[in-house]
Amino acid sequence: MTRMKNKVALVTGAAKGIGAATAAILAREGAKIVCTDLDEQAGQAVADEIANAGGEASFIRHDVVNEAEWEAAAKHAEEKFGGLHILVNNAGIAPESGPIEEKTLESWQRTISVDLDSVFLGCKHGIRTIKKYTAKGGAGGSIINISSILGLVGQPGASDYNAAKGGVRLLTKSAALECADAGYNIRVNSVHPGYIDTPMVKNVINRGVMGGAVVGANEMREMLIMLHPVGRLGIAEEIANAILFLASDESSFMTGSEVVVDGGYTTR
């Protein structure tokens, strides 16, 4: 299992869900992992689990909307593991559903900050760091930005999330072009998951609000399942496998691409 041998990867939001699964699978393929999150206990547990399985991992507390902490996270990767090649911009929030006319500017700005501004900061400091190890004939670099199906299609009550994840989609393309034009040997792609059975989606289910309708958690779960033609929610490892492909040299001819892993959600 050496698809990521000699690579150093930084994964944000690594304490749970897609982030934890991604950190684990990249480590199994030989990458050295920097796990970052606000949840120090859970994030450290993920790093410890990787180490106990024979991998190399470190944890650093990281607020992804704080630029100084991005600089610290990149520096940590260099000092701990000698460089940085892979960045997975995974950290994000799922805000409460509600119509535009009732949404507060404060809640809108919070969603944009965590779900879009953080990706901008990640790309900025990721490119600055990764290019030092890839631009002059080193191993190829890769930035993977986690968007959403709601970065491709609209959903009522999700204006802030739609705007943020749609922004991630086009930010990815701009960053991909800049890196290619500059000769940095860094590819930048986005992943668009459907509803994945993670703690974040469980919170959405428990709220029981979709398109203005309020339902019970069980009914909400069934409604979400019905939106996916394959007849189920996804699991975190399925998204992590797509991220692994984009992080590896197997996707060396892909940049600025959108990888949709949604159980058919956007095909209708």
Catalytic residues: 161
Beta bridge pairs of residue 234:
196
Q: How many CB atoms lie within 10 A of CB 61?
A: 14
The answer to whether 27 and 56 have CB atoms below 8 angstroms apart is yes
Per residue, what are the HEC states of 187-206?
A: EEEEEEECCECCHHHHHHHH
Per DSSP, which regions of the chain are E strands?
A: 8-12, 32-37, 56-61, 86-89, 141-146, 186-193, 209-210, 213-214, 258-261
Q: CA 49, 25, 195 angle in degrees (round to 5)?
A: 105
Rounded CA-CA distance 123/131 in Å is 11
